[in-house]
Amino acid sequence: MRVALQGRRVRGWVVAVEVAPTADVALRPLLRVTGLGPSADVIGLARWAAWRWAGRTVHFLRTASPRGVVAGLPPVPATRLEPAASEGGSHDELLGEALARATSVLRLPPAAPVLPLVLEAARRGTTLVVAPSSAVATDVAAALRRSGMPTALVPGEWARAAAGARVVVGARAAAWAPAVDLATVVVLDEHDESHQSEASPTWNARDVAAERARRAGARCVWTSPCPSLEALAWAPVLAPSRAAERSGWPVVDVVDRRREEPLRADLYSPRLVTLARATGTAPADAGAAASGRLVAVLNRKGRASVLACSACAELARCERCGAAVAQGDDAILGCRRCACRRPLVCLACGSTRLKVLRPGIKRVRDDLERLAGVAVAEVTGASGSEPVDAPVAVGTEAVLHRVASASVVAFLDLDAELLAPRYRAAEQAMALLARAARLVGGKAGGGRLVLQTRLPGHEVVQAALHADPARVAAAEAERRRLLAFPPTTALALVSGAPAEAYVGGLRSSPDVEVLGPASGRWLVRARDHRRLCDALAATPRPPGRLRVAVDPLRI
Ligand SMILES: [Zn+2]
Ligand SMILES: [Zn+2]
């Protein structure tokens, strides 16, 4: 609705009725009722989320509201339940077991479809499905409709959801969508970081979904090929038989680069070059593994991130600040620390011939085209959305979202992911491999991952090789406990102009520990979220732009 506030017409929500005003409050009439908004249970959920992610309730009320005005609700066809089209076998049993519990984590291998779970849940009552992306949500909604299930795809079909669609599905904001007589909440790929908002409040749809189910007395199932440690702490994990899980992961070639003679510093193992050549030469009917596309992943943009002079061997560094300079798209060296730029020239001897010590994807594209003799496309998050049709595609991890299918995904420098200086690096690397595994499919279809590494014994490599993601969780849980990182603790990252004053206030709380500052940011740590969020809420916020990121993912 609209209300008059300080001379302006302001949007508002009715969050309670039959409230007696206190003596100092003068009542005013509403200007206008605009349309339907979130229901009482979702308003309660918004208040909880404001506490849990140190944000404002109004932020979540906006997320929970329809995009346009919804004045009335459309009719929704009654759900006709047909007998379950059982595929038979242990998979049905596994789904039944997951839906028999209040909370469960279902570890499904990358190639396993999620539709059987959603259909089985929908047979038991209204089901809310939170997908990791709009693309996945759209696919799931289309498949549900083909099977005759009354479905609302949100945010577009908010009204249909509120009218009582049997399944409500959408990306992150779907955790807030209307659902009548909610019976089951399903979160797909719970480990996926896209469930969490990058802007603060940094709320996570997975956790909102779980809290919503708990409040509604509904069951909640999280699925993932590689459940996060948060998931393992939340509910028991149900997994298919070892044989079923293994067949749902691709073949994994571990290319141990320490064994190559001579020891090579480049990114192109003989195995990789052979596979890339095969994409161009095999006839179209040679089977998916031989004729399909090869996708090469390297999380380094531009042409080179480290160069040295070919004449005097001096490293190319920034003349102002001394950091290594990188070469992007053009013949310019740029400093990523201070943004200083100069032409491609050695400062020590004046030579213009520089050698690439650490190539980026632009250089890799040229090299692979030459080595394999096939067309190679370059894909980054910034490239457009036109389809990629070259037999080989090279890109940052964004390429895994841009290419519709591939028969081989090769990680050119997996060690850069495994050794990334972030506390979640191992889980993030595992999630990348799971994403790639889904692109190439399971063993039966000939899907293949190629992992170029000097750490073949690393638990992430071993987990992919043996289709056993529990290996990562076991090693990682121990490290987190030793380092006092989540989920054994709860963290918030505080930054912005008034951050110092704010953490000054937090220091007086006995329940939290303040670390930092590092790069103008403070880390606030507590034993659990109750202590952390209570302390954040109880500490007055100084004026100015304060950013509080609860559960930061990339530190
Ligand atoms: Zn510099
Ligand atoms: Zn030189």
Domain with CATH 3.40.50.300 in the chain: 90-245, 249-302+360-480
155-174 pLDDT per residue, tens: 999 999 999 999 999 999 99
195 CA to middle of ligand 2, Å?
48
280-333 pLDDT per residue, tens: 655 544 444 445 899 999 999 999 999 999 999 999 999 999 999 999 888 899
299 CA to middle of ligand 2, Å?
28
Residue 80 pLDDT class (50, 70, 90 cuts): confident
Mean pLDDT within 412-419:
96
476-515 pLDDT per residue, tens: 999 999 999 999 999 999 999 999 999 999 999 999 999 9
* b/e code 22-45 from CB counts within 10 Å (16+ = b): eeeeeeeeeeeebebbbeeebbeb
501 CA to middle of ligand 2, Å?
49
CATH number of the domain located at residue range(s) 90-245 in this protein: 3.40.50.300
CATH number of the domain located at residue range(s) 249-302+360-480 in this protein: 3.40.50.300
Ligand nearest to the CA of 324: 1
Ligand nearest to the CA of 350: 2
Task: Return the higher-pLDDT residue of 30 and 260.
Answer: 30
List phi, psi (to 5°) of 383.
-65, 155
322 CA to middle of ligand 1, Å?
6
350 CA to middle of ligand 2, Å?
6
489-550 maps to CATH 2.40.128: no
E strand map for 6-63: 8-11
For residue 131, count CB atoms less than 10 angstroms from its CB and return exposed for 0-12, middle for 13-18, buried for 19 or more: buried
Domain with CATH 3.30.70 in the chain: 489-550
318 CA to middle of ligand 1, Å?
5
Residue 182: the pLDDT is 98
88 CA to middle of ligand 2, Å?
69
Nearest to 371 by CA among 336, 410, 407: 410
Is residue 95 predicted with pLDDT exceeding 60? yes
Q: What percent of the chain has pLDDT over 70?
A: 96
354 CA to middle of ligand 1, Å?
18
The residue length of the chain stands at 555
Rounded Cα gap, residues 324 and 337, in angstroms: 9
Q: What angle do CA 151, 156, 160 make, to 5 degrees?
A: 45
Helices 470-483 + 425-440 axis angle, to 10: 160
352 CA to middle of ligand 1, Å?
19
325 CA to middle of ligand 1, Å?
7
Nearest to 305 by CA among 337, 277, 282, 280: 337
Ligand nearest to the CA of 326: 1
In a 3-state reduction of DSSP, which class is residue 492? strand
Q: Quick one: how far is CA 218 from the chain centroid?
A: 25
343 CA to middle of ligand 2, Å?
13
344 CA to middle of ligand 1, Å?
15
In a 3-state reduction of DSSP, which class is residue 406? coil
325 CA to middle of ligand 2, Å?
14
What's this model's pTM, rounded to 2 decimal places?
0.93
300 CA to middle of ligand 1, Å?
19
